[in-house]
Amino acid sequence: MSPENNKTIAHTYAPKEGFKSTYSWFESLKDKGLNPLCITMDGEQFVMKAIRLVWPFTKIQRCLYHILRQGLSWLRTFPKTQAGAELRALLMRITAIKSFKDRDLFFDLYRNWYLTYRDAIKKLPNTTVAFKDLKKTMALIHHALPDLFHYLNDSNIPSTTNLVQGQLLFLCSDNYNSRC
């Protein structure tokens, strides 16, 4: 879907979201002239790999809502540790980031949280729920950081996939959008 005009660019049915099904679909879209500037998506790793192979210069904007929802599901409503409670509070800020100042504050708060708790988290027994929840949420945020805030540089890039109940929003050049 194009976030500029809310038109469907292309659709397909895949019984399972993954590299094999999306790579061939992306290749066919590229052959038809699709060359997205940015794709907003949930962050499925094999789909991201397919995007990077087909369109190596396309920015990937991670859906802030998906980051929030996944992190909160791991941390739960009442985290079992102070580190979890603070990470949950930090995560709750993510969809409210509307400026570079907000982004920089988020980076600073996350960096401070990480430096404060990383050693304590490493000392938690690997089998505890708190350890697993914190590690998964830390990894989620850490891996998403490079692709969280492209929308701040371009107001046409959606920060979430909320416009469509699927997984991808393509921001394309004007030439392609006029053909949609």
Note the pLDDT tens digit of each residue in 5-37: 777 777 777 777 788 889 999 999 999 999 999
Whether the pTM exceeds 0.75: the reply is: yes
Closest CA to 54 of 170, 160, 178: 170
**Residues in the chain, how many?**
180
Q: How far apart are CA 68 and CA 108, in angstroms?
A: 18
pLDDT class of 180 with cuts at 50, 70, 90: very low
pLDDT at 130 over 90: no
Collapsed DSSP state (helix, strand, coil) of residue 170: strand
Which residues does 58 contact at the CB level (< 8 Å), separation at least 6? 35, 36, 37, 38, 39, 51, 52
Collapsed DSSP state (helix, strand, coil) of residue 42: coil
> Tokens 């046409």 identify what position?
156
Note the pLDDT tens digit of each residue in 55-66: 999 999 999 999
Note the pLDDT tens digit of each residue in 79-115: 888 999 999 999 999 999 999 999 999 999 999 999 9
pLDDT at site 26? 93
pLDDT at site 18? 82
pLDDT at site 57? 95
